Structure 1
Amino acid sequence: MASTVINVPEKARRGEVIEIRTLIRHTMETGFRPGADGSIQPRDIIQRFSCRYNGEQVFGAELFSAVAANPYIAFHTVATDSGTLVFHWEGDNGFSQTETAKITVTD
């Protein structure tokens, strides 16, 4: 299991634009590099990332071989209601990880 760092404001005002930052520690392998024995190492990358806010997708990304190890993704959304943000990463070799964060929205 990869480790994650998620930065979401604990509180926001309704209608406020908030920044969400995520980082996942994952050893990325492009599938183009030769190993010590000269054979190409198999690809192992995170392919997709999504964020759902109270069940509605507010951000999604498709990642490719050129993405760095430990992908850092930052995006903005509007604080609408208190609730839960669900972050989901999918990758090669059946990799899947889901994390959550809570946000409180005030008027």
Structure 2
Amino acid sequence: MKLRFEDHSIRLRLSETEVAHFAQTGRVAVVVPLGLSERENLTYALERSESEEFRITHGAGAITVKVPAALATQWTSTDQNGLSATLMMGESQPLKVLVEKDLDCKH
């Protein structure tokens, strides 16, 4: 899974294998070691959520994008390429969230 930050946006791109894993388990995550101890790792994840809205949680070296279950099921079971939402992170601070299939990528 690839993670990309740009001005006021966060984007996750999942390989075909990762999409299948997410469909089956409801979660896919990547751990990036940024130091010598586990406390210095960065974990980013995509999770299926019972909430009806996209959400992002972060803290203690982890960023998690939470996608409503109904949207997640539709996305993983069809040829729909992506999901997106704009979250208001504060007054006049929108954050665009994109979750996409990266099906041509073979890694």
TM-score (norm. length: structure 1): 0.35
* Higher helix content, 1 or 2: 2
Please identify the structure whose Cα radius of gyration is greater.
1
Which structure exhibits the higher relative contact order, with contacts defined as CA atoms closer than 8 Å and separated by 6 or more residues? 1
